[in-house]
Amino acid sequence: MTASEAVENLPHRAVVERVVETRLPTRHGLFRAVGYLDRSGTEQVALVYGEIAELGTLTRVHSECLTGDVFGSTHCECGDQLAAALDRIVEEGSGVLVYVQGHEGRGIGLLAKLKAMRLQDEGLDTVDANVALGLPIDARDYHAAAGILQDLGVRSVRLLSNNPAKVEQLTRYGIRISEQVPLLVPPNPESLRYLRTKAERMDHLLPHLDQAFSAAK
């Protein structure tokens, strides 16, 4: 058995430790913030809205993105997706958003992401920029996210995501995906090329880009 196989066979609740729970009022609504430590010592958090069900919980597993989520960068759609997901969960009446720390720049870290962004300004796309830096195209792992959902009592989710790799990993780690719910936000001139690379080279499901790309030509 390989090391990765051994990790996958561990109970998911061993992957994270619940540390704290508190109310969190936001401009989207009143959430319950549940804080965790994963096995690497990284702090993680889930925002829970309403009374969540064991099956079919509307869920967003959101990768940390300082530039998009905090600074409002228009280079990516991350900040818009975060806000849209929280709004969707509130509209639904219940749901979970797992905010995954350690996923900055698809897992390569903040400084490496900024270097990759500089290479993109010079003409490379997001995939080739990471390769040029000798880094993985996508180094994210969703084991901690799956452990958090397990700890919250969630067994299957309606996943707010356009990313088939996220679906595959969560499924592998024991979370059943009952539905993949699109989370599409309108592109802008800065994000259009970035999103096009996601669709064409990383198989993200972004059908709304065709019209936007044609209009931009």
Decide if 13 is catalytic: no
Instruction: Select which of 106, 140, 158, 196 is catalytic.
Output: 140
| Close Cβ partners of 106 (under 8 Å, ≥ 6 residues apart) | 63, 113, 130, 136, 137, 138, 139, 140
**Rounded CA gap, 41 and 80, in Å?**
28
Cβ 117 vs Cβ 108: under 8 Å: no
Look up 138 and say whether it is catalytic: yes
138, 141, 158, 196: the catalytic one is 138
Contacts for 57 with CB less than 8 Å, ≥ 6 apart: 94, 95, 96, 154, 156, 157, 158
By annotation, the residues acting in catalysis are 138, 140
